[in-house]
Amino acid sequence: MHMPIRYNSLNTIKQLWPFISPYKKALIFAICALLLNAATDATLVSLTKPLLDNGLMDKNYELLILFSIGIITLISLRGLSNYCSTYCLSWLSGKVITQFRQLIFNHLLKSPTSFINNNSVGELVTVITYNTQLLSKASSDALIILVREIAYAIGLCVVMFYGNWKLASVLIVVVPVVIFIAQFIAKKFRKTLVSMQKGIGNITTAADEMIKGHKEILVYNAQEYEKNNFLTINKIFRRSILKIVLVSGLSSPIIQLVATFALGLILYLVASQSLDITPGSFTVVFSAMIAVMRPLRELTSVHLELQKGSVACESLFGLLNTPLEEDNGTITLKGVKGDIIFSHVTYTYPTNSVPSLKDVSFKINKGETVALVGRSGAGKSTIGSLLPRFYDIVEGEILIDSINIKQYTLRSLRDQIGYVSQQVHLFNGTIADNIAYGAKNRYTRQDIIEAAKQANAMEFIDKLENGIDTEIGDNGILLSGGQRQRIAIARVLLRNNPILIFDEATSALDNESERLVQQAIERLQKNRTSIVIAHRLSTIEKADRILVIDGGQLVEDGTHQSLLSQNGLYASMYQLQFNS
């Protein structure tokens, strides 16, 4: 999936803000809680000086009691503020991620068929699942670090200067070094993160292909090949993870080393007696210097978190910026007659350089059954895909009832077309759910049963333990090819579509299944305009007309008998099938 836009941290925040702004009250509350959390931490450190100088050194026990009460109060506030900020940010990120996932899912639903075909399932699933989660986590983690740790670091700096400004000035040397290290590591981290993201997509794709192609793997004894292929992908992913750990893990020891030099310098200054300092002042500065190592270390990691967010943002918004199906039609198609005209239609698939259809023109009259035949790759299925606008033509026009199909709304156009392909997709659920798919509330249980009867599907459904309420598994894995086709025909029967497209609906069936499916198709075709794309010529002998497609062009048009008498391509194909 090509993602041309490159996002940095600022762009990421700008792009995310419209999704966060509806919940800004929760965000403000979380920020206030984080600031309170940082303030309590810094205050606890600052209490070291008066505790030592005025409490213990002066043996002021009343002051020590007050300190103990104050410390308990501060720790309670610290715990409460930490809980509130964590909960608010979790709630906020949950809202944003849910909205994001739904937005991406909706976008994919409206994406052109060509986009879905040109991108791997694993990559698209990774965007919906992993990248949304990565963006949400990265954003919330970055916010926590930015707000709490910056406030804490500032508070500790104030505490150090309050303790002894000369010692605290050592910090001025440390900060620029830390910033330089953070930027250097973040730059290295981005490349590694992109590689890891791609690796997740490869793993998902490989697993998906293995599960869907399990039978083919077994029959071709390709277990060893698939095992080695997945092992390679897995190793590449493992190396990416290790690089991330290596790069992100460098920040802590380097920052600690820099801070340790600063601490050593402080101890040297004290040991050299060049400073007049009380035990309380020394302790508070030393404690604050040690404590500031944490926010400095965390602030280097915020670059890494923001890099995660920007990489995830790049893929998410890159997907959301891909074009949707063109749906500019204003006419709602109702009460269709069924006259279809292809006028000088030329179509080239985005991935091909040679047109699949070249200047094709024909007319199908209302209620007519027209068969499309030809060699594999001739362009038959392309014609079937263009009518419901799975793909949009650039040259020529397609008309239904004398109106260009682009002038119809997509929803109303597809409501008029029943489509049954060779590769029927069934959804995980019951037989009844699949027959009434997408329109469950429009039909009664009796309507569903009647459609199944008309499709010759009740013949096998009645033998199942739970009848039409039988769960059929992922993509109908528990059904045979003929049974799946009859479920698909029942779907169309239920909707009573006036225009039908059968794309090699019986080519992969045995003789008995083909007979039952063919009966259902013939029953369905009555009083409807039908386009039958066929490989087996025996199934289309009764068609009103047969169009022969070859090399993307219409080369013959006529009835079965008239085409046989022409001794052309159709006649040779017929003789080849029936003489073999």
pLDDT the model gives residue 315 = 80
Claim to verify: residue 257 and residue 390 sit in the same structural domain: no
- Classified as helix, coil or strand, 347 is strand
Nearest to 305 by CA among 464, 145, 165, 192: 145
pLDDT the model gives residue 491 = 87
Claim to verify: residue 385 and residue 239 sit in the same structural domain: no
Claim to verify: residue 409 and residue 428 sit in the same structural domain: no
Residue 410 domain-assigned (yes or no): yes
Residue 341 domain-assigned (yes or no): yes
For position 73, which CATH number holds? 1.20.1560.10
Instruction: Tell me how far apart the alpha carbons of residues 225 and 218 are, in angstroms, rounded to a whole number.
Output: 11
Sign of the Cα torsion 121, 127, 129, 134 reads: positive
Residue 58 domain-assigned (yes or no): yes
Residues 6+ apart with CB under 8 A from 377: none
Instruction: Tell me the one-letter amino acid at 212.
Output: K
Residue 263 domain-assigned (yes or no): yes
Instruction: Tell me how far apart the alpha carbons of residues 565 and 544 are, in angstroms, rounded to a whole number.
Output: 16
Residue 513 domain-assigned (yes or no): no
pLDDT the model gives residue 368 = 92
Could you tell me the two tokens for 433?
């759910």
Instruction: Tell me how far apart the alpha carbons of residues 76 and 127 are, in angstroms, rounded to a whole number.
Output: 41
pLDDT the model gives residue 228 = 87
pLDDT the model gives residue 14 = 73
Read off φ and ψ for residue 323, nearest 5 degrees.
-70, 145
- Classified as helix, coil or strand, 256 is helix
Claim to verify: residue 286 and residue 158 sit in the same structural domain: yes
For position 354, which CATH number holds? 3.40.50.300
Read off φ and ψ for residue 530, nearest 5 degrees.
-130, 140
Instruction: Tell me the one-letter amino acid at 434.
Output: N
552, 358 in Cβ contact below 8 A? yes
Domain end residue (candidates: 469, 496, 523): 496
Instruction: Tell me how far apart the alpha carbons of residues 266 and 282 are, in angstroms, rounded to a whole number.
Output: 9
- Domain extent, residue 492, equals 420-496
- Looking at residue 554, the DSSP 8-state letter turns out to be E
pLDDT the model gives residue 1 = 45
Half-sphere exposure of 79 (CA within 13 A, CB side): 5
Instruction: Tell me how far apart the alpha carbons of residues 8 and 5 are, in angstroms, rounded to a whole number.
Output: 10
Sign of the Cα torsion 159, 164, 166, 170 reads: negative
Read off φ and ψ for residue 235, nearest 5 degrees.
-65, -40
Domain end residue (candidates: 496, 524, 556): 496
Claim to verify: residue 390 and residue 445 sit in the same structural domain: no
Residue 412 domain-assigned (yes or no): yes
485-507: burial string, b at 16+ Cβ within 10 Å, e else:
bbbbbbbbbbbebbbbbbbbbbe
Residue 329 domain-assigned (yes or no): no
How far CA 199 is from CA of 135, 139, 206, in Å, comes to: 17, 22, 11
Instruction: Tell me how far apart the alpha carbons of residues 53 and 84 are, in angstroms, rounded to a whole number.
Output: 35
When computed from its CA atoms, the radius of gyration of the chain, rounded to whole angstroms, is: 35
Domain end residue (candidates: 441, 472, 496): 496
Q: Judging by DSSP bridges, how do beta strands 403-404 and 395-400 pair with one another?
A: antiparallel
158-190 pLDDT per residue, tens: 877 777 777 667 666 666 666 676 666 666 666
pLDDT the model gives residue 179 = 63
Helix ranges, 164-292 (H): 165-168, 171-212, 214-219, 223-271, 279-291
H/E segment holding residue 499 = strand 499-503
Claim to verify: residue 66 and residue 174 sit in the same structural domain: yes
The residues of the chain scoring below 50 in pLDDT are 1-5
How far CA 162 is from CA of 113, 157, 262, in Å, comes to: 66, 8, 18
Could you tell me the two tokens for 215?
């039978």
Give CA angle at 338 (335, 344), nearest 5°: 130
Claim to verify: residue 377 and residue 432 sit in the same structural domain: no
206-219: burial string, b at 16+ Cβ within 10 Å, e else:
beebbeeeeeebee
Claim to verify: residue 379 and residue 396 sit in the same structural domain: yes
Number of structural domains found in the chain = 3
- Classified as helix, coil or strand, 62 is helix
Length of the chain counted residue by residue: 580
Q: Judging by DSSP bridges, how do beta strands 545-550 and 357-364 pair with one another?
A: unpaired
Residue 407 domain-assigned (yes or no): yes
Claim to verify: residue 140 and residue 121 sit in the same structural domain: yes
Claim to verify: residue 149 and residue 201 sit in the same structural domain: yes
Claim to verify: residue 59 and residue 200 sit in the same structural domain: yes
* Its pTM surpasses 0.75: no
Claim to verify: residue 262 and residue 316 sit in the same structural domain: yes
